[in-house]
């Protein structure tokens, strides 16, 4: 009938479906919707399972009051929500590191239901209490902790962690320690599948069961200042990406190959401060097990050093199962004739030389 009142079909949907619909909105709009639309919607925000917070402030001005208001909003919503599975907190501010308080509610680090935790540009200040029995994904990008003990406390109280990414800092100076003191109390992250970490400030022994690893090396695998790190044997590792800054020699590459007996895919991206660097490559003896028995794909960036071709030839001559050898160059193209004339032990291997600018 023409004068019939409109029917609110959406409000009659199940709570689970309504929460799913609201999850596509920014968290502020989603909560405003539940509070203002109708009484039927009012309690829905307490049933949200995914909370995504995004704080953005002026590039030039430090607005502490605005930050504190948003912090109160984040804490209130988190405390009110009953069953949190996914929690994302991103601070897009050039001044995030100077705020005296943390956007992160302390209760989120003791959530029994939390499975995904992603933090970007966040201070995690003070001593923390952690218990995350269900957490499977932990991404920390630009996160600042009080000290390494707090980071380790977070890391090792996630017993079922599968996916880890860390770019972290400390407000207190990273204390000097030996290999023994940095690893003696660490547990292995036994469920870990994927990791993206920097060897500096990170307990490498804890991730030795990982399957897929992106490893950032700043100077040397073992030494950063007076800090020593032990390279474990990665028994399950099948895919490794190496990003090496201030590249000086091939020793770290060789050692990692020796420690990855089942490696199938290797990608190396390196850079050196000295463009005329002369780096000595010595053929490892014996041939690492991963090269002789498992390696199927190898990718390396070419900077114009002679020993890069030596490394490439070594792989071609010893990797029996190799299917693809890819060389990426920016400005200097490797000598194709020299590579083409190199004997390949794998009859199935395809040699590819591409530019970084190729899509």
Distance in angstroms (rounded) separating the CA atoms of residues 199 and 204: 7
Write out the DSSP string of 216-238.
EESS-SSEETTEE-PPPP-TT--
Q: What is the mean pLDDT of each run of 10 residues along the chain (359 residues)?
A: 54 59 61 53 66 76 79 86 89 66 88 95 88 97 89 93 93 49 64 92 89 88 54 94 86 89 96 64 86 96 81 93 91 70 89 75
Question: Phi and psi of 28, rounded to 5°?
Answer: -65, -45
Q: Classify residue 304 by its DSSP letter.
A: S
pLDDT at 180: 37
Distance in angstroms (rounded) separating the CA atoms of residues 121 and 128: 18
pLDDT at 125: 80
Kindly report the pTM of this predicted structure: 0.84
pLDDT at 251: 80
Q: Any residues with CB less than 8 A from the CB of 255 and at least 6 apart, and which?
A: 221, 231
pLDDT at 300: 92
Q: Any residues with CB less than 8 A from the CB of 48 and at least 6 apart, and which?
A: 19, 22, 23, 30, 81, 84
| 3-state secondary structure at position 4 | coil
Distance in angstroms (rounded) separating the CA atoms of residues 67 and 64: 5
């Amino acid at each position: 009938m023409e004068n019939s009142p409109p029917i609110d079909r959406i409000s009659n949907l199940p709570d689970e479906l309504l929460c799913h619909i609201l999850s596509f909105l920014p968290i502020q709009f989603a909560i405003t919707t539940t509070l203002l639309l109708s009484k039927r919607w009012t309690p829905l925000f307490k049933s949200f399972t995914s909370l995504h917070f995004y704080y953005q402030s002026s590039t030039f001005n430090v607005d502490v009051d605005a930050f504190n208001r948003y912090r109160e909003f984040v804490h209130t919503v988190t405390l009110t929500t009953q069953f949190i599975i996914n929690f994302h907190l991103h601070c897009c501010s050039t001044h995030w590191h100077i705020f005296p308080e943390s956007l992160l509610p302390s209760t989120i680090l003791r959530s029994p239901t939390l499975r995904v935790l992603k933090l970007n540009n966040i201070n995690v200040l003070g001593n923390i209490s952690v218990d995350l029995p269900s957490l499977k994904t932990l991404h920390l990008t630009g996160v600042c902790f009080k000290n390494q003990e707090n980071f380790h406390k977070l890391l090792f109280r996630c017993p079922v962690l599968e996916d880890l990414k860390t770019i972290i800092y400390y407000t207190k100076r990273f204390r000097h320690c030996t290999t023994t003191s940095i690893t003696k109390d660490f547990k292995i992250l036994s469920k870990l599948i994927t990791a993206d970490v920097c060897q500096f400030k990170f307990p490498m022994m804890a991730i030795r069961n990982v399957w897929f690893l992106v490893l950032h090396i700043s100077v040397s695998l073992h030494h950063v200042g007076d800090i020593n790190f032990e390279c474990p044997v990665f028994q399950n590792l099948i895919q490794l990406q190496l990003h090496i800054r201030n590249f000086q020699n091939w020793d770290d590459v060789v050692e990692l190959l020796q420690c990855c007996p089942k490696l199938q895919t290797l990608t190396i991206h390196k850079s050196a401060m000295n463009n005329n660097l002369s780096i000595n490559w010595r053929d490892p003896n014996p041939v690492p097990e991963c090269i002789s028995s498992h390696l199927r794909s190898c990718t390396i960036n070419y900077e114009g050093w002679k020993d890069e071709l030596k490394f490439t030839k070594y792989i071609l001559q010893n990797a029996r199962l190799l299917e693809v050898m890819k060389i990426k160059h920016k400005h200097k193209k490797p000598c194709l004739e020299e590579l083409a004339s190199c004997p390949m032990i794998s009859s199935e291997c395809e040699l590819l030389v591409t530019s970084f600018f190729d899509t």
